[in-house]
Chains A and B, each alone.
Chain A
Amino acid sequence: MNAIESVFYWTTALLHAATFFLVLLSLVFKKSSSFNLAKWLFVLAFFTLTVFGIIRWARTGHPPFVTLFESMIAAIWFTLLIFHIARFKVKQVPILLLPVSFISFLMMGWSSSLPADASPLSAALTNVWLFIHASFATSGAAAFLMAASFSIIYLMGKKKLDAMEKVSAKIPEYKSLPKTILNFLIFGLILWGVMIVSGSIWAHVAWGRYWAWDPIELWSLISWLLFGLLLHARLAFKLSKRLFCWLSILAAATVVFSLWGIQYLYETIHSYG
């Protein structure tokens, strides 16, 4: 990371922290002014992170997907992007500021512990499939994280949410939350699915095998199947809404594991760069 990148990176991290603590404050002291401020800080965080990404892209000559650090930043960026788009579309979203800012704050923290040096692009990665693969992996993860965030909100219960309602100004449609979660799950399944095929096409071109049960391939398929199961459990068997929410948080955890947890456990050729 060079000096300018550092400035934008740490500003983004600070903005995340500030957003999260302001939301907490507003909930404890029932102040809507600090909630509104938090909303704007979160928009600003998206802006500074975008600038960070552009600067890094321009400096390294490739989109910031390559190292572990970059892939985490990309996922945070997609999470913020989906969040801000959804804010225009879905009523429940403002209240989501709490779990989303919390999760992305955690990920900012995690990313700050990783080596942030840019890695030269190895030739395995100079392929259009890389860009499809990596952008769908990170955006898919973002969609699943959004579903998990919704689930956290749902599990907090209607009473707590009603108390927050004064703060967040908008009325969360509590009853329809599981449906929104389901939609994010399906959206995530599509993105994650594109990630899996494009990854496997890329693996074929690069290494001559389309599927080798490498730990990352294996875990991302597991995540996909788990979400598929969850979806059928909800659609076909009317799984209880609370259990559905708990399980979607659990399934999102497997996504986080397949993207960023694997290299702590296995040796894989998906070495990020």
Chain B
Amino acid sequence: MKINFASTKLAFFLIAILAILIILSAIIPQKDISDDRIIDLKELLGDGYVVIEKLKLDEIYTSPYFFILLGFLIINMAAGNIRRFKIVYKTEKTLLKARHLGSIIFHLSLIFTLLSVILNYLYRHEVVYALTEGQALSNSQTSYLREFSGPAFTDSNVRYQLRLVTVNESYEIEGSFTRAADISLLPENNPVAITATVLTNHPLKWNNLEFHIGPKSGYSPELLINDATGKSLFKSFVRLASRKIEGKTFHYDYIVIGETDIKIDITVLSDTVILDSPEYQITVHEDERLLCDTTLTDKEIIDCEDFKISIPRLRRWCYISAVESPFQNWIFFGFWIALAGMTIGFIPRLLENKSRRK
């Protein structure tokens, strides 16, 4: 079978497949985007989920076929439009009419935009750090939340250590309040740390990287669990998830103590200025059996069967992402020009309407 790369039918077909894939991605939860919905779907489908994984329908945007599709779209758009304008030029001897010019600019810029999208994907680098106040992570560690590096990305970044100093939930800027984080960046080859307050719309720019504060934050109580002999079983800050239910924010999470069946649920009870005098609801289960269900303040230690549980300190956590997105401005630029082209092509249509009425 010979494929005509310049055919508009093929273009229609390709755009339709693109639309269908995107609709599928709206229905099937995608890895790294909607992880909690993936768990639900896995439960629902059971073994059927394997099909989704095999077809990579849970990571559509990073799957090879998505890029092959974009590639075809680019080739097709180029070939189709070149062919069309050859014909137009033969019959009309000019391409400088607004209608044609607009269409050429539009489709060429769209090709440019798609190419930039692919390039940016290849060279993109993004790390999301989930940090509790006082905590430091380095970009040579693997313990951060998520990392994505495009296939062509070569890590030329200097090693650095990133420390979250404080999170401020109501930082005032130009009359409105936002979440801000004081961070400190210590590059390996630098004797002094770079400190900055990053907030929405105001990242820290350093080398090729931008450090952004993420859209979510929450509380991190320091959970201490000792056994009856006083031996420490657990000692760590636990990042609580925040959920908004009917306008109220809840801070909740659970942990399972390593290699036991002990599950501890922590919910923050107080909802204003909780850092000063926090109160928690603690429930402890062993398998399904409820061991205790009680409240706890930062000054108490509770005895729960063989365990002593306390939460002496409460801190905040937030996400900081380090992003390198080298072709991003090309994408924006291409798209703006495309829209300008569309507008140029649109003008004669408006004028035509007018002259028809006269």
A interface residue numbers (CB < 8 A to B):
61, 89-91, 120-124, 126-127, 176, 180, 183, 186-187, 189-190, 193-194, 196-197, 200-201, 204-210, 212-215, 218-219, 221-222, 225-226, 228-229, 232-233, 236-237, 269
B295 beta carbon closer than 8 Å to chain A:
no
Task: Please measure, in the bound complex, the distance between the C-alpha atom of A212 and the C-alpha atom of B128, giving whole angstroms.
Answer: 13
- Contact (A123, B176) CB under 8 Å given A89-B354, A183-B353, A187-B346: yes
B11 beta carbon closer than 8 Å to chain A:
yes
- Contact (A236, B203) CB under 8 Å given A194-B339, A197-B336: no
CB <8 Å contact, B176 and A225? no
B132 beta carbon closer than 8 Å to chain A:
no
Q: Could you tell me the distance in whole angstroms from the C-beta of A207 to the nearest C-beta in chain B?
A: 5
Interface residues of B in 302-358 (CB under 8 A from A): 321, 323, 325, 328, 331-332, 335-336, 338-339, 342-343, 345-346, 349-350, 353-354, 356-357
B89 beta carbon closer than 8 Å to chain A:
no
Q: Which of B18, B19, B214, B335 contacts A197 (CB 8 A)?
A: B335
Q: Could you tell me the distance in whole angstroms from the C-beta of B15 to the nearest C-beta in chain A?
A: 5
A–B pairs, 25, beta carbons within 8 Å: A89-B354, A122-B176, A122-B177, A126-B201, A183-B349, A189-B342, A190-B339, A193-B342, A197-B335, A205-B203, A207-B214, A208-B210, A208-B212, A208-B214, A208-B323, A209-B126, A209-B323, A215-B26, A218-B22, A222-B19, A222-B23, A225-B18, A232-B8, A232-B11, A236-B8
Q: Could you tell me the distance in whole angstroms from the C-beta of B118 to the nearest C-beta in chain A?
A: 13
CB <8 Å contact, A207 and B328? no
CB <8 Å contact, A190 and B332? no
Task: Please measure, in the bound complex, the distance between the C-alpha atom of A208 and the C-alpha atom of B8, giving whole angstroms.
Answer: 37
CB <8 Å contact, A210 and B33? no
User: With a CB–CB cut-off of 8 A, which chain A residues contact B199?
Assistant: 123
Q: Could you tell me the distance in whole angstroms from the C-beta of B113 to the nearest C-beta in chain A?
A: 9
Besides the contacts A186-B349, A225-B19, A229-B12, what 13 more A-B pairs have beta carbons closer than 8 Å? Answer: A90-B353, A123-B179, A124-B178, A124-B215, A126-B176, A183-B353, A186-B346, A204-B325, A208-B321, A210-B331, A212-B33, A213-B33, A232-B15
